[in-house]
Every structure is written in C-alpha cells, then in structure tokens.
Amino acid sequence: MRRAMVLLGGVALAVGAFVLFYRGPGQPFIRGYVSDVGATMLVYAFLGLLWRTTAARRALATAAIAAAVEFYQIVGMTPPGIGGVLVGAFPDPWDLVAYAIGVVAALAWERRLGPMLGSMPQDTK
C-alpha cells in the first residue's frame, strides 16, 4: 500500500504542477477546481503514508479536512500569506464537489492499485 500512496502523491503533485503552468481555455475552472481535486488526493496520500487504518476511515478523514478548509473560508479564518494561498480565501460550494471527486479518485486508486503493488490490509471495520 505504501507504493500506491507514494504514486498517488506523485500524481497529485503532477496535477498541481499542471494547474500552476496551464494557460489555456478554461483556466479559471482548472485553477479553481482541478487544483482542489489534486490537493484532496495529496491529503489522502499523506494520510495513507502516516495512518494505518481502513481506506474508509482515511477517506472520511480527508473529507473532514477538506470540509474544515471550506468552513474556515466561510467564517473568514483563513491564514494570511502563503497559508491563505494554500487553503484559499473565498468559500465556494463547488469546492466541496471537487473535494468529493478527489476523495473518490484517491479511494479508487488505493482499492485498484493497492493490491497490485503489494499487500493491502482489507477493510474489516
């Protein structure tokens, strides 16, 4: 499973790099939502490397972290400087859709690639 999470993190970072350098049609959409999908996948990958638990729990924790980011934007508690750039400053309900897509993509990645790249503990809880 570790290899699957490292590869997922690499894919998420590649998505982030793409978003940063993309200058074509739909750039606001790409910047606003595809980046959220990639960021959520990266959080899931980090949790997968750091936390030995079921995939479902990792998915729920990732979704909770993403929802917390949006909540902080709603109440205006985003950090200044680079922190504000990382978590964003403006709440957008469509961000939650992008986060959900990122969680589902990461979960599917783990379920599909985990067994192929090595033993993966089964969800038992």
CA 125, 47, 111, 102 dihedral sign is positive
Transcribe 10-27 into DSSP letters.
HHHHHHHHHHHH--STTH
- The torsion region of residue 117 among left (phi > 0), alpha (psi -120 to 50) and beta comes to alpha
Q: What is the pLDDT of residues 11-53, one digit of tens each?
A: 999 999 999 999 999 999 998 899 999 999 999 999 999 988 9
Nearest by Cα to 19 from 40, 34, 41, 37: 34
| 85-99: pLDDT as tens digits | 566 667 788 999 999
